[in-house]
Structure 1
């Protein structure tokens, strides 16, 4: 980004983080979250000893994480958030009021770093960073973005971690509805400025990894808790799309607390302890979502690469897909609607008008899933986002398939 473009972006967007708005948000929405999810804070007294700027790093389980964590921090938090959340003018306006700092997923963004430095050094504020870069699909900590450690060393201010426990089962990434259980948020001081100055970036990253390591299934197994909901399994197929019985792709479906395969008839029930139970003659091959996901992440790439040997046949496809185009925080515009298909070397959209758009995999960058099921990537200078018409169409199957094919090159 050149200097002129940087100045233009500053003119268009600048995080404010108004204190009065944060107070209203904390006492209204924050109070609702604390009561509804029965949140138990641990270690909040450490904030009494931190007078200057600091960095807050929670594990990332769902869309409500920043609001839950921020409701216990006595000062406004400037959260680093995906620019995909700011493409509507209304959301951009609201997120600006709480000081959100936009970041393009996967793609390096110097402007984001400049805003973070400004908040820490000039405003003496608090910056919130999700070091995993995205919310977990199975409740286990994702690999951390290595450059986070370099940023922390550059800032040289205290680092506070916040471990959310129970947040994944309360508001899983793959669902639109919440389940009520109990959430714990434990705040800990990871390192102070002097320790950061003395440590290497590699050493900082290792300490951060150790502090962030967490598994929701393991935590729940140690608790006498139940997550009550009549729709625990609803939309689980967005995360777990591969059937372990027949290995069919995109045939998993959910209904209330049941999770079943349309192809072979396998059916499991997801209990209040988030363990899969057998139904009738169907075996519960996995106990937890985490176990199923680990198997899927191992088995699916092999299936994709095997299907790619037939270059003329789509590996996966979805109908009624809408393709949008934009860039960073700019509003997206609808390009075409049609049948989306993945081949060994490209993604295509066969449009309703009969034309075909093609995206060679070699030229695709920054592929990811935004929110529950928006698949997007950068191609050239544009961002392309694919929206699926039904809530049972998994965008994650597209991401993992693209990653498998690109890794095989």
Structure 2
């Protein structure tokens, strides 16, 4: 695992516990990208700001401010973490990845670190507020380097999809 330099931690998302599990085991200061509506929840908003989380608005509607902020962090040698499924999986199964992390990796030259969290859906499932006892496991894959490009053309769109699929399959393999 790269101890320095730009890094994007990419994980599946089973439960709201996932960021805590990842922060406990990844020895880097991570800035998580989190859904903007979470910053409106009393108590949680304080925690998110304390840990430097980046609010993500609907990027599919053209709001890329969160990607720009993450890119600045990466270009400064920092590390960001995100859940490219776009939210917590309601059934714990891996959902298709969105491509934003591949764009960030290509623009910044950051390594992509695939991570799989297992068991959090049993410990704190969607809709529950108090965890129950259970086993949580974190598996870390090999870093993936995608190179760096200052300008991304429409010809790179297919390549971004391939990178996204490759990382998704890496996370899927870690889950088994």
TM-score for both structures, normalised by structure 1: 0.38
Unaligned 5+ residue runs, structure 1?
A: 1-45, 220-409
Unaligned 5+ residue runs, structure 2?
A: 150-155
> Looking at CA atoms only, which structure, 1 or 2, has the larger radius of gyration?
1
Native 8 Å contact 1:190 1:211 kept in 2: no
Q: Deviations over 1:100-150 (max 9, x none)?
A: 00012454322111110111113x211011100111111110111134322
Q: Deviations over 1:204-225 (max 9, x none)?
A: 0220121132797xx6xxxxxx
Structure 1 residue 191: Cα displacement: 0.8
The 1-side partners of 2:165 and 2:96 are apart by 11
User: Is 1:120 aligned with 2:74?
Assistant: yes
- Give the 3-state SS of the residue equivalent to 1:189 in structure 2: coil
Q: Compared with structure 1, are the counterparts of its residues 59 and 121 closer, same or farther at alpha carbon in structure 2 (3 Å cutoff)?
A: same
The 1-side partners of 2:34 and 2:21 are apart by 15
Structure whose residues are more often strand by fraction: 1
TM-score for both structures, normalised by structure 2: 0.83
The 2-side partners of 1:70 and 1:215 are apart by 18
RMSD over aligned CA atoms reads 2.5
Aligned residues: 168
The 1-side partners of 2:43 and 2:88 are apart by 23
Aligned residue number for residue 135 of structure 1: 88
Aligned residue number for residue 206 of structure 1: 165
- Does 1 or 2 have the higher relative contact order (CA < 8 Å, sep 6+)? 2
User: Is 1:173 aligned with 2:132?
Assistant: no
User: Is 1:83 aligned with 2:36?
Assistant: yes
Structure 1 residue 79: Cα displacement: 0.3
Native 8 Å contact 2:141 2:171 kept in 1: no
> Which range moved further: 83-92 or 61-70?
83-92
Aligned residue number for residue 97 of structure 2: 144
Structure 1 residue 166: Cα displacement: 1.4
Structure 1 residue 84: Cα displacement: 0.8
